[in-house]
Amino acid sequence: MSSTKEFNWEAFDTKGFGEGYTKEQRAQMEAVYTGTLSEITEKEVIKGVVVGVNDKDVIINIGFKSDGLVPLSEFRDIAGIKPGDEVEVYIEEQENALGQLILSRKKARIVRAWQDIEGALENDSVIEGLVKRRTKGGLIVDIYGVEAFLPGSQIDVKPIRDFDVYVGKKMEVKVVKINHANDNVVVSHKILIEKDLEKQKAEILNNLEKGQVLEGVIKNMTNFGVFIDLGGVDGLLHITDISWGRINHPEEVLQLDQKVQIVVLDFDDDKRRISLGMKQLTSHPWDSLASSLEIGSRVQGKIVNVADYGAFLELAPGVEGLIHVSEMSWSQHLRNPADFVKVGDEIEAVVLTLDKDDRKMSLGIKQLTEDPWTKQDMSTKYAVGSKHKGVVRNLTNFGLFLELEEGIDGLVHVSDLSWTKKIKHPSEFVKVGDELNVAVLELDVDNRRLALGHKQLEENPWDTFETVFPVGSVHKCTVNSKNDKGAVLELPYGLEGFATVKNLEKEDGSPVEIGESLDFKVTEFSKDDKRIVLSHTATFKEEAKAPKKAAAPAGKKKEESVEMPAQAEKSTLGDIGALAELKEKMEGKK
């Protein structure tokens, strides 16, 4: 123990320890002893010196009247703690029940850590921490022994997909928030990057100009393009500016975090929207087309798109030609292009038009086969009277178009469908997709016209009907329908007839009703117009007016004296045989 002034111990003559002191001498000794001790306050951090180390404790002198003990376990972070080392400790109690000074290095570190953290927040200073583990939404960072939360959004300026790569690594952060109630600390690493990027961003924007080639990193991908980080500034590389060829999604040719060379295409006055291009760094593939490519050349390629009007054939990345649907088949009936090709098909085509300046090309695939109308056997194969089978492709009010083979279509007029039925619309007879047998009525190769008929496959039955339904003949008919003008009648053999309103009156004066089957007399027959007009009224009115026949002479039978009806006179055995044959044919068709 040292003092600035010498103390004369000999001045005190004592008989024993602690005896013989005057009051003044005692006060003087206490003053000297007290001057060697420090005044300490509980619940504060103070520096102390290690004076001893044993298996369990570390003995620390803080300048108090007694030394304090700190468990050795609290010094695990210090390798080889030894006497003379200076450490910070927390004063829990100056003197416990046993008279011992209670110290804690662990609490000292916590208190000091919070003081440093608060100081870092106030001074906006950068501190270094160790990433301990990953947690929901971010990372846990150890700063000064305190666990702080680093949100995932504050790790970097670009989205982070894998937090695990940071675990176990040191990272510089800034304290952005302290919640003392929950002892919660929030830190950010992104804020440090942003400050560095601000300078870089300002430099890029000041020097930005169209045509400038830059290097960037892909930070995000969408179906319409990719966003590229140019060093604090983001630009959009649209999907159409990635490649001269057609791509469906940027991920087909690019990857996240990939470094790419791009060129500035455009930007607004504030330079907030920057349009970038990649394909513009290479020459257009149209410029490298072979000079031998011309109209009529055969080319090979892959179908890259199919639309309602046609398909696009890619000859090389960025070089496409349109195959219009009308150039896919010699057929006159336009069909869906998907019936001929699909995306991914590799096919051959013929160049129809070529404009290298406007970079446009039209192609055809039907030209790979011969036009069926120009074949040498066309005139003989489809000669008038020849019979064929085709597929109904289209219906119109006046008839139907029948495809006999690809590229060869013919018209069947509605009047050439049936000899007996009155067909108002072809849909009453057939539907699209049906097969139909026909005979060729007319062929015009120069104008590509082919007239066909279905009814011509059979003989005209009206030649026979003329003898079966002569004017004046009576037949049993059924009323099918009625209107203001008259009624449609069903005649034998599937024929239809017509009776006007005044010819529908029955003998009792009532009108003929729908569904009734009565005798009707033929009043008009037209083979050319295929028309039969009848009358029920005529069956009884004309009989009433007819003169009575004279009695038969004596010696003759009654049957011989009766006149044979006019219709019976014309119904010869030949006619009946022809009619029976016609009926068999018609029933066979059914």
Distance CA 45, CA 497 (A): 124
Give the domains, in start order, of the chain with CATH numbers.
41-122 (2.40.50.140), 124-194 (2.40.50.140), 208-281 (2.40.50.140), 285-368 (2.40.50.140), 376-453 (2.40.50.140), 462-535 (2.40.50.140)
Lowest-confidence range among 56-60, 183-187, 305-309, 380-384? Answer: 56-60
pLDDT for 117 beyond 80: yes
Give the mean model confidence (pLDDT) for residues 133-155. Answer: 88
- Which carries the bigger pLDDT value, residue 74 or residue 518? 518
Give the mean model confidence (pLDDT) for residues 541-545. Answer: 58
Most confident of the ranges 72-76, 138-142, 552-556: 138-142
pTM of structure: 0.43
How far are the Cα atoms of 167, 347, 404, 426, 454 from residue 399, in angstroms, in the given order? 81, 37, 16, 6, 11
Share of the chain above pLDDT 90, in %: 26
- Which carries the bigger pLDDT value, residue 197 or residue 571? 197
Give the mean model confidence (pLDDT) for residues 333-340. Answer: 81
pLDDT for 8 beyond 70: no
**For the CA atoms of the chain, what is the radius of gyration?**
57
pLDDT for 587 beyond 60: no
> How do residues 475-493 score in pLDDT, each as one tens digit?
999 999 999 999 999 888 7
Q: Report pLDDT for 28.
A: 62
Q: Report pLDDT for 313.
A: 92
Side-chain half-sphere of 141: how many Cα atoms within 13 Å? 29
Lowest-confidence range among 15-19, 254-258, 295-299? Answer: 15-19
Lowest-confidence range among 196-200, 279-283, 288-292, 459-463? Answer: 196-200
Contact residues for 561 (Cβ-Cβ < 8 A; gap 6+): 549, 550, 551, 552, 553
**DSSP 8-state symbol, 334:** -
Query: In the chain, what's the furthest Cα-to-Cα distance?
Result: 207
Q: Phi then psi for 119, rounded to 5 degrees?
A: -65, -40
- Which carries the bigger pLDDT value, residue 208 or residue 213? 213
Lowest-confidence range among 172-176, 241-245, 249-253, 328-332? Answer: 328-332
Q: Report pLDDT for 524.
A: 93
Band of residue 99 on the pLDDT scale cut at 50, 70, 90: low
Average pLDDT, the chain: 80
